[in-house]
């Protein structure tokens, strides 16, 4: 798996995590979605990673993904930032996985 950060997304996430200790995780969140295949991706800054997370190759900012949720993601993805909507976007060459991806500091 490979995740490319656009310049805008890298700047925005750097601003959000500046001065905070933790790990950035691309979380496939299924809470309240009904079933595991109805998850929503989000960016989480966590103090410590839970077991089962794997570091993903990127063009810059390190990010982790739960191994068990990688099946729901594409092999090559891009994280962008949409200024007009003030949110991140997760996309691949084949689809937009989340057009309005949120960021949360989880500590």
Looking up residue 32, the CATH number of its domain turns out to be 2.60.300.12
d(CA 64, CA 49): 8
CB atoms within 10 A of CB 56: 17
pTM greater than the 0.85 cutoff = yes
Domain count, the chain: 1
**By the 8 A CB rule, do 44 and 62 touch?**
no
pLDDT at res. 31: 59
In tens, the pLDDT along 39-55 reads 789 999 999 999 999 99
Range of the domain at 50: 2-105
């Amino acid at each position: 798996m490979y995740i490319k950060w656009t310049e805008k997304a890298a700047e925005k996430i750097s601003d959000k995590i500046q001065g905070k200790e933790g790990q950035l995780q691309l979380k496939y969140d299924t809470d309240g979605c009904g079933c595991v295949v109805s998850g929503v991706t989000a960016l989480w800054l966590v103090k410590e990673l839970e077991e089962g997370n794997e570091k993903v190759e990127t063009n810059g900012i390190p990010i982790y993904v739960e191994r068990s949720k990688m099946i729901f993601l594409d092999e090559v993805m891009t994280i962008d930032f949409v200024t007009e909507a003030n949110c991140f976007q997760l996309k691949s060459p084949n689809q937009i996985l989340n057009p309005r991806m949120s960021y949360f500091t989880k500590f």
